[in-house]
């Protein structure tokens, strides 16, 4: 039976980032990942460049575009452009490359990974975790990290995060070429998708397109409408393969650590309930998870409670406002567009949110006040 300081269930973005941060601190880490490899990860790859500071390696090789403009449209027209120049930039990374970069660096640092691995049983023995895997091997570790994404079973098992998780419905696809989207521009398209929106984020030679609904379990099965959205991004003749994914979104302040166990990323229900931003909270939670586990392993603190506090303070407070904005915006999207996007000061505020300079909390009270007064009148 092999022993590790930390065992991580899930080798996606949050799992790899946590493994990397821990390995840089000198700990022995085992990652158990259920898939063999992934050719395509359903994620548009938009991230605030300010997140680089939460990673202990240079990620420039995974950056496909540096974004200068953000375009907003209402049903293909009523154009609004937010200029990102002068703000910290927003990057588009290719997730397959980005995740691999983090994982490769952690493997170089001594992290071990079991692919096509499934954990069958977890018990606590003498204050350590004993994990039995589908390869019939058993592993011992001091700390356990749950990083198994939106369909996490283990966060429920350990009662981490909301009892009743909330999900956004998404459809994603990647098309060759950029259509009419400039290389340095992302586009948000409102009005076509009930209870949500569509987005187009440019990679070097292709476009990541996504459709998402955020309230009322809105479905995305209207193929004609979906095609209309894709056409609005400048594609006339296209065939494509779509991936449907339920994304576990933030749903209230909850405990995301237990005794010697914690959840990170989507498994901890951290994804932004307004814009589906999940890379930032994945990197934040991975960073603080490694920091708090390090403090425990080096005997500075006795438990992981500070982890939940840090995430709630640095992310949850803003998401509480993000959720309120989503509830109002997606219910009254026309008014939301007029008041939240078309106002003179809105593009700058949106740019500041995307670049991580401002939080929803900073702007929300004013926005919601305006939306409620207008939609009620
Ligand atoms: C269509 C779409 C577009 C998006 N676009 C953006 C964007 O532009 N910007 C942004 O910030 N966020 C975006 N997101 C959100 C972002 O992709 C997620 O928040 C992010 O992937 C979370 O990373 P994670 O590691 O927590 O989960 P995942 O990336 O889902 O990784 C979980 C890993 O765990 C593995 N796993 C699952 N179950 C088990 C198990 N039982 N045992 C072992 N391994 C297991 C999986 O195979 C996977 O490798 C988007 C999401 C979607 C769906």
DSSP states of 266-288: GGGT-B-TTT---HHHHHHHHHH
* Confidence at residue 368, expressed as pLDDT on a 0 to 100 scale: 65
User: CA 301, CA 355: separation in Å to the nearest integer?
Assistant: 33
Span from the CA of 150 to the centroid of ligand 1 (angstroms): 7
Buried b (16+ CB within 10 A) or exposed e, 8-45: bbbbbbbbbbbbbbbbbbebbbbbbbbeeeeeebbbbb
* Confidence at residue 377, expressed as pLDDT on a 0 to 100 scale: 46
Residues of the chain with pLDDT under 50: 377
* Residue 330 and residue 214 in contact, taking contact as beta carbons nearer than 8 Å: yes
List the beta bridge partners of residue 124. Answer: 129
Q: Probe ligand 1: pick from 43, 97, 256, max atoms within 8 Å of CB?
A: 43
**Residues near 365 by Cβ (< 8 Å), separated by ≥ 6?**
321
Backbone angles phi, psi at 138, to 5 degrees: -115, 140
Angle at 273 between CA 269 and CA 279, to 5 degrees: 65
Using DSSP's 3-state secondary structure scheme, residue 257 falls into strand
* Confidence at residue 88, expressed as pLDDT on a 0 to 100 scale: 61
* Residue 229 and residue 240 in contact, taking contact as beta carbons nearer than 8 Å: no
The pLDDT mean for the chain works out to: 92
Q: Probe ligand 1: pick from 17, 21, 39, 44, max atoms within 8 Å of CB?
A: 44
Q: What is the pLDDT of residues 98-154, one digit of tens each?
A: 999 999 999 999 999 999 999 999 999 999 999 999 988 999 999 999 999 999 999
Whole-model pTM: value is: 0.95
Q: Please count the other Cβ atoms lying within 10 Å of the Cβ belonging to residue 325.
A: 20
16 lines ligand 1 (CB under 6 A): no
Nearest atom in ligand 1 to the alpha carbon of residue 14 is 25
User: CA 284, CA 292: separation in Å to the nearest integer?
Assistant: 12
Span from the CA of 315 to the centroid of ligand 1 (angstroms): 18
Span from the CA of 9 to the centroid of ligand 1 (angstroms): 13
Q: Write the DSSP string, 153-211.
A: SHHHHTT-S-SS-EEEEEEEEEEES-TT--TTEEEEEESSSTTEEEEEEE-SSEEEEEE
* Confidence at residue 85, expressed as pLDDT on a 0 to 100 scale: 72
């Amino acid at each position: 039976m092999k022993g590790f300081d930390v065992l991580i269930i899930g080798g996606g973005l949050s799992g790899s980032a946590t493994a990397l941060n821990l390995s840089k601190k000198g700990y022995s880490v085992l990652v158990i990942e259920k898939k063999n490899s992934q050719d395509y990860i359903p994620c548009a790859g938009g991230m605030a460049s300010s997140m680089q500071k939460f990673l202990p390696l240079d990620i420039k090789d995974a950056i496909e575009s540096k974004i200068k403009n953000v375009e907003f449209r209402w049903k293909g027209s009523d154009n609004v452009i937010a200029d990102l120049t002068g703000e910290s930039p927003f990057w588009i990374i290719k997730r397959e490359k980005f995740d691999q970069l983090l994982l490769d660096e952690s493997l170089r640092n001594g992290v071990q990974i079991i692919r096509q691995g499934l954990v069958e049983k977890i018990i606590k023995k003498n204050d350590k975790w004993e994990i039995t895997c589908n390869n019939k091997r058993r592993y011992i570790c001091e700390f356990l990290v749950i990083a198994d994404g939106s369909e996490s079973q283990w966060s429920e098992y350990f009662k981490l995060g909301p009892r009743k998780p909330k999900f956004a419905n998404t459809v994603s696809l990647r098309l060759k070429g950029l259509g009419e989207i400039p290389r340095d521009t992302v586009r948000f398209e409102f009005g076509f998708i009930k209870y949500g929106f569509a987005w187009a984020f440019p990679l070097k030679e292709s476009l990541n397109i996504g459709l998402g609904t955020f309230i009322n379990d809105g479905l995305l099965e209207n193929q004609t409408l979906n095609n209309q959205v894709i056409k609005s991004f400048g594609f006339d003749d296209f065939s494509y393969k779509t991936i449907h994914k339920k994304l576990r979104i933030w749903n209230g302040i909850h405990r995301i650590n237990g005794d010697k166990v914690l959840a990170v990323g989507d498994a901890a229900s951290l994804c932004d309930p307004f814009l589906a931003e999940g890379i930032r909270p994945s990197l934040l939670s991975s960073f603080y998870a490694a920091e708090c586990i390090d403090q425990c392993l080096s005997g500075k603190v006795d438990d992981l409670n500070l982890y939940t506090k840090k995430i709630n303070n640095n992310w949850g407070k803003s998401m509480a406002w993000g959720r309120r904005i989503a509830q109002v915006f997606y219910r009254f999207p026309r008014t939301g567009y007029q008041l939240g996007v078309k106002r003179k000061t809105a593009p700058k505020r949106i740019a500041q949110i995307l670049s991580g300079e401002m939080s929803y909390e900073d702007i929300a009270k004013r926005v919601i006040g305006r939306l409620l007064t207008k939609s009620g009148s």
